A and B are shown apart, each in its own frame.
Chain A
Amino acid sequence: MRVPILKLGRVLLTSLPADLTDQQVMDLQIDALALLRDDRADGLVIDITAVDVVDSYMARVLSETAKMVGIMGGVAVLAGMRPAVALTLVEMGQNLIQMETAFDLEGGVAKVQRAMATRGGHRDEPPEV
C-alpha cells in the first residue's frame, strides 16, 4: 500500500505509518516528486511521529528525497522525530539525516512556508479553470 500524500495550500503533507517497507519509502519519494513536478506544491513535510525505526536505508532515502526536492526548487522538512529515534540516529553516526527538520507537523509547515517566502520561490497558483 502506498503512503497517502495530502495537500494543504502549496504544501504536501504525509504522515508515515509505524512500519514501512523499503519499497513504500521509495514509492513515497516517487509520488512526492511527481506531485511537485506537476506544480501542485512548493514543499513537502514528512511527519514521522509514528515511526519507531529509522535505519540507514530509510534515512538515506528521506535525505535524498529532500535533496531532490531542493534542487527542483522546493523544500522538504522532516517532522516529529521521536527522541529514541533521534538518539539512535546520533549513535549510528555519519550524519544520516541530511535535511531540514521540525518538532512537529505544524512547525514543518511553517518552515516550508518561511523558506519559500525567503526564496521568493513560490510558483504562481495555477489559473482557475
Chain B
Amino acid sequence: MTNHPRSEFPDETSAILVSVVEIHGQEDILIARQAGRDAARNIGLGTVDQTRLATVISELARNALRYAGGGQCRITTQVAVLTRTIVLEIEDRGPGIDNVTAALTPGFSTGGGLGLGMSAVLRLMDDMIVETRPGRTMIRAQMVRHT
C-alpha cells in the first residue's frame, strides 16, 4: 500500500508543531520571526504573508519581553485539501493584560510604546484569541489561506 502524504487526508493530527522559540532577549525576537517566515514559506505562502507573519511575531514577542520579561513562541502549520493554516501562539508568565479590549485599541499603551502593536496584529492576521490572567497570558493568532 502506498503511503499518501498527510495533506491528502486532513484531520486533527495533520497539524504540525514546526517551531518553538524561547524569548529571553531581543535576539530571540529575530530568531522567532525568522522561524515564522520559514514556516510560512514551507507551506507555500508568499512573500507578503511571510512578512505579515514575521511582523506579527515581532510585535507579540516584544510585548512578551517587555511586559513579562520573556515567553515562548510556538508555530503550528496545517496543510489540508483546501486550506493552509499557520497558528502562532505566544505565551508568557507575566502579570496578564488588565483590559484586553483597551489593549486592542490603537493608541492604548501601558508600557510607554505607541500602543499600535496589538491592533496591528489584529489587522494582519485572520483570527486572534487572547487568554489572560495574572501569571499566564496566551495569544493565539491564525492565518488561513485557501488553495
A binds B: yes
CA distance A17 to B30 in the complex (A): 12
Q: How far is the CB of A127 from chain B (nearest CB, A)?
A: 42
Q: What 1/0 flags go to B4-43 for Cβ under 8 Å of A?
A: 0000000000000000000000110110011001000000
Question: Is there a chain B Cβ closer than 8 Å to A41's Cβ?
Answer: no
A-side contacts of B113, CB under 8 Å: 56-57, 60
CA distance A6 to B48 in the complex (A): 31
Among residues of A, the one whose C-beta sits closest to the C-beta of B117 is A56
Question: Is there a chain A Cβ closer than 8 Å to B80's Cβ?
Answer: no
Question: Is there a chain B Cβ closer than 8 Å to A125's Cβ?
Answer: no
Q: How big is the B interface, by class?
A: 20 to 34
A21 contacts B116, CB within 8 Å? no
CA distance A113 to B52 in the complex (A): 34
Q: How far is the CB of B63 from chain A (nearest CB, A)?
A: 10
Question: Is there a chain B Cβ closer than 8 Å to A99's Cβ?
Answer: no
CA distance A54 to B59 in the complex (A): 10
The majority secondary structure among interface residues of chain A is helix
Question: Is there a chain A Cβ closer than 8 Å to B51's Cβ?
Answer: yes
Question: Is there a chain B Cβ closer than 8 Å to A31's Cβ?
Answer: no
The stretch from A42-50, A72-80, A83-91 touching chain B is A83-91
Task: Give chain B interface residues in 93-115, CB to chain A under 8 Å.
Answer: 106-107, 113-114
Among residues of B, the one whose C-beta sits closest to the C-beta of A59 is B116
Among residues of B, the one whose C-beta sits closest to the C-beta of A56 is B116
B120 contacts A93, CB within 8 Å? yes
Q: How far is the CB of A29 from chain B (nearest CB, A)?
A: 16
CA distance A84 to B120 in the complex (A): 15
CA distance A83 to B51 in the complex (A): 10
Q: How far is the CB of B111 from chain A (nearest CB, A)?
A: 11
Question: Is there a chain B Cβ closer than 8 Å to A115's Cβ?
Answer: no
Chain B residues within CB distance 8 Å of chain A:
26-27, 29-30, 33-34, 37, 47-48, 50-52, 54-55, 58-59, 62, 106-107, 113-114, 116-117, 119-120, 123-124
With A88-B48, A92-B120, A94-B120 given, name 4 new contacts (CB 8 A).
A21-B29, A22-B29, A56-B116, A94-B107
